[in-house]
Amino acid sequence: MDDGAVVYLNGHEIWRINLPAAPSAISFGTLALSSVSGTAENAWNELDPAHNCIGCR
């Protein structure tokens, strides 16, 4: 993640991080609330295998 993200599961928004709260629309030009850098920019969480579709924008 680089600064902010919206996460969708099976087409439904489930989480926003470092972006304006829902129901604010998010577009290509939406700025993150703050900058993320260093090790925080490279932190990942593992996702267990399942029959779901997850997307991030």
Work out how many domains the chain is built from and give that number. 1
Residues spanned by the domain of 40: 5-56
Question: What does the pLDDT profile of the chain (57 residues) look like in tens digits?
Answer: 568 888 888 888 888 988 999 889 988 888 888 887 776 666 666 666 666 677 766
Note the pLDDT of residue 7: 86
Note the pLDDT of residue 19: 92
CA-CA-CA-CA dihedral for 14, 18, 19, 22, to nearest 10: 40
Note the pLDDT of residue 45: 61
- What is the C-alpha to C-alpha distance for residues 17 and 48, in angstroms, rounded to an integer? 20
8 Å CB contact between 35 and 19: no
